[in-house]
A and B are shown apart, each in its own frame.
Chain A
Amino acid sequence: MNDFPLFPESASSVAPLVDGLYLALVAITGSVSLLIWIVIFYFAIKYRRRPDNELAQEQEPPAALEMTWIVLPTIIFMGIFVAGAVVFFRMSRTPANAIEVYATGRQWMWKFQHASGQREINALHVPVGRPVKITLASEDVIHSLWFPAFRVKTDVLPNRFRTMWFEATKTGRYHIFCAEYCGTMHSGMIGWVEVMEPVEYQRWLAGGSEGSLASQGEKLFEKYACNTCHTNTSGARGPNLAGLFGKTRQLTNGSQVVADENYIRESILNPQAKIAAGFQPLMPTFQGQVNEDDLIRLLAYVRTIGVDQPVSTPVESAQSAQQSSGAPTTTGATTSTAPAATTGATGTQPAATTTNQ
């Protein structure tokens, strides 16, 4: 791109859809607006006030016009609605094989954590051609994570997890902006997303970390003594968490809830809100004790309990996805480096699996 772009870099799978819709809207609305201006100027010149038309000739245009310009715009607007909704659904539905990344916004920086444990500030490394799912939390006010080159944006809230996803289609370095005004250094809450070839990404992932997020979460699980009640034994005081994530769970009040990110979050911070069927409301709140980073670690751990293959290990899922989708250009390159990376990541798995046995 030159120094003076009039159109943003297009680097994600949804970007061409958004741009296509945008340009179609420019074409439709532009030509209608142009038509209106031409008609106005034509009338203003043709029927300009002259001595012989001091008073209008009082000839009305045909009344059928009225219905035309009520019905026609309505139809066009409905078309725009449908097109917008279709693109939006594509943006909203996270692919199942996405790499899990966690982001925390705080005044005034972005913190990203990878499932394998790498942490980065105001920078994010992702592979090209792979969906990336980001689970977002805020430590203070509302922020908004925007990747202009990917055409996606999500507000980051201080009271629950949000998720977003993208699939980068072009390697390179693109802006990260905070789009929701968040105080003094709002315009400094920016960073770069580095889209890398899968090989380089694996190499980057392999570079040092403090163990996977899930293993860090497991330590917290012990530290906060969660494991004293949430055991797998019958008669345990807390429900068994094995294989819980993503399942539908029965509550004491008869209703059901899907155990998603926000359910886990609420069960930690406000455990009395939803009591699993067959259990007593005994659990104390951890509001104010567990910060956003630890919540993310606990969440990453809870996701893995009772799952033989950790769902969110990037290397693991990267590989399986590439095998299943058969990504043409990169497969060969990835498999050659993957084994080394996989062993690195799986080193933490035994811990995860032993806990629930």
Chain B
Amino acid sequence: MTSTTIDDAPFIEPSTRERRNYLNDEYGVLSWLLTRDHKRIALLYLFSVTTFFIVGGIIAFMMRLELLTPEGDMFTSDTYNKLFTLHGVVMIFFFLIPAIPAVMGNFILPIMLGAKDLAFPKLNLLSWYIYMIGGTFGIIVIITGGVDTGWTFYTPFSTQYSNTKVFATTLGAFITGFSSILTGLNFLVTIHRMRAPGLTWYRLPLFVWSMYGTSVIIMLATPVLAITLVMLMVERVLRVGIFDPALGGDPVLYQHMFWFYSHPAVYIMVLPAMAVISECVAAFTRKKIFGYKFVAFSSLAIAFLSFLVWAHHLFVAGISIYSALIFSFLSMFVAVPSAIKVFNWTATMYKASVSWQTPMLYVMGFIGLFTIGGVTGLFLAALGVDVHVHDSYFVVAHFHYVMVGGTIMAYMAGIHYWWPKITGRMYPEWWGRLSALLVFVGFNLTFFPQFLVGYVGMPRRYHAYAPEFQVLNVLSTAGATVLAVGYLLPIIYLTWSVKFGRKAGANPWGAVGLEWATTSPPPKENFHETPVVTWEAYDYPAFLKAMKETQDV
């Protein structure tokens, strides 16, 4: 095999059949709003989650501006409290949780399986509408005065003391949960029932394994969130005592129930990121992922273990020291499968053909930042250290390294990687690399100082703070400015590239996978003929041979 076969093939004028794709198959607003095509639904999600990301980002930036000075001089305390609450609610419920599964999972998963669509296309569209209804509640809350409980809605503050829009916000989160559940259900059934001929479980791309783990968590954990939020709303509105001690309830019970969902939810956000990273590592090293089965099963291990660690959020909240001991012990184990993945991705690069294109830069950024996010999780799982750093900026830095340094880096990697497949156009490479660099530098400048200021003693959710914390906060705000530019650039150049980008061939990266075996953008039914899989996952020579044979036919 010569190098030209895997190089970006020169653009060949496609036949009429190939010119018809999912984007130009139908026109008109209704053809989008009533579509059952998983690719179009993925784009509906892309626009919606990007909008929420921008909203959440602007709110974050306003907070960083307030924190430039120790005094609370830019907003009132109430406004600041609403800002960090809305930032959390918008970013977690309306961006991070749906982002990768609903955009990339929706678009790529059926194509990876060689399927025409997800198992339940109407349910898929319904899930977007449910998401939008939940999101509308979020927007209404922002417009009509906001909410100030923190995204965690801790009782009895949320049920008894807060005078803000708690009911509407929790209702929005409650409704959005059903959208996740439907997506998870759809993925599970699709992965079980709709794989192409020859696509056995161990031939599945690791993206699919991770999405499988994600879907399991979504299906099992989200109903618990729904139950918890209903109980919260019942207590707030009907004054039925569940969590509020004044009514005979127990406030710590709420924390148990909330984190029973919300800790697994961390993995609802992280597992899809790992899914994207596995694909990008294979594509940009042109190599089989080292330890395929270990990476695959580590996804399932994470899905299982994520349910056994919730009370590590409660070490100082009033649980007994023996339950603290057990949950600290179990929390240590959940770090093992994540470590396995990081080591395997790294080992894959050994004697590989490593490209320095934008998605790979994001991948390297991801591994670096996610590693910091992961190991600082060990600090928090270690009881003696957690007592000091719990509810400090150390925690804020930790979960931003996981959520932003992990999930959003992976999201950016995936968007750039599959952009040519989604739009049929290439993004401008140098702009891509510049933005990846800005995001990496800006991110570290924003969040690394927060580890330091947290250990020194700055509590989270503070509108005003002690003067000795100022220098680190100014650094953090400076970093946020760089980060904002890093995120704005892709929004601009990706939009630009839809019309002006270089046309992409079917497989511009020379990557392995069924999504690269169809045209860019794919036809409405994804493949012109049902593909037959004859190669193991990420087996470059076998895949390229199979592609050559199909072309020759």
* A residues apposed to B, CB below 8 Å: 1, 3-8, 17-18, 21-22, 25, 29, 32-33, 36-37, 39-41, 43-44, 47-51, 53-61, 63, 65-66, 69-70, 73-74, 77-78, 80-81, 83-92, 107, 140-142, 144, 146, 148-149, 151-155, 157-160, 162, 175, 177-188, 190
Contacts and interface: CB of A to CB of B under 8 A. Distances in A.
Nearest to B380: A84
B316 A144 contact: yes
B353 A157 contact: no
A5 B387 CA distance: 20
A47 B252 contact: no
A48 B354 contact: yes
Contacts of B388: 18, 22, 148, 151-153
A36 B329 CA distance: 25
A78 B368 contact: no
A25 B347 contact: no
B384 A91 contact: yes
Contact of B78 (A33, A158, A184, A190): A184
Nearest to B388: A151
B367 interface: yes
Nearest to B284: A49
A6 B347 CA distance: 35
A246 to B, nearest CB: 18
A77 B336 contact: yes
Contacts of A92: 321
Nearest to A269: B245
A43 B354 contact: yes
Given A80-B382, A148-B456, A185-B77, A141 B157 contact: yes
Contacts of A181: 81, 150, 154, 157, 460-461
A83 to B, nearest CB: 7
A290 to B, nearest CB: 14
A122 B355 CA distance: 58
Contacts of A188: 77, 464
A65 B368 CA distance: 20
Given A36-B371, A54-B353, A144-B391, A187 B316 contact: no
B351 A87 contact: no
Given A22-B388, A59-B351, A86-B384, 12 more contacts: A5-B468, A25-B385, A29-B379, A36-B367, A48-B355, A49-B354, A92-B321, A141-B160, A142-B156, A146-B392, A148-B388, A179-B390
Contacts of A154: 316
Nearest to A32: B375
Contact of A84 (B160, B251, B381, B452): B381
Contact of A107 (B161, B368, B385, B459): B161
Given A74-B336, A153-B391, A22 B455 contact: yes
A49 B353 contact: yes
A299 B396 CA distance: 38
Lowest 5 A-B CB distances belong to which pairs?
A87-B384, A148-B457, A84-B382, A159-B245, A88-B383
Contacts of B392: 146, 148, 179
Nearest to B314: A155
B235 interface: no
Nearest to B288: A58
A43 B346 contact: yes
Contact of B455 (A7, A33, A74, A162): A7
Contacts of B360: 44
B351 A177 contact: no
A160 B249 CA distance: 12
B385 A84 contact: yes
A151 B387 contact: yes
23 contacts: A5-B468, A7-B455, A36-B346, A51-B3, A55-B3, A56-B287, A57-B352, A66-B291, A66-B340, A69-B343, A77-B378, A80-B332, A87-B385, A88-B384, A88-B387, A92-B321, A148-B457, A153-B390, A177-B457, A180-B154, A181-B461, A182-B157, A183-B157
Contacts of A178: 459
Contacts of B7: 54
B28 interface: no
Contacts of B156: 140-142, 158
B525 interface: no
B53 to A, nearest CB: 24
Contacts of B218: none
B540 interface: yes
A50 B3 CA distance: 10
B227 interface: no
A87 B383 contact: yes
A56 B352 contact: yes
A56 B336 contact: no
Contacts of B148: 183-184
Nearest to B449: A6
Contact of B340 (A17, A69, A186): A69
Interface string B210-221: 000000000000
Contacts of B160: 141
B6 interface: yes
Interface string B524-546: 00000000000000001100000
A162 B385 CA distance: 20
Nearest to A52: B3
A25 B382 contact: yes
Interface string B349-376: 1111111100010001001100110011
- Tell which of A40, A63, A86 has the most Cβ of chain B within 10 Å: A40
A165 B80 CA distance: 33
Given A54-B3, A70-B340, A178-B459, A33 B371 contact: yes
- Tell which of B161, B457, B462, B466 has the most Cβ of chain A within 10 Å: B457
Contacts of A1: 468
Contacts of B342: 36
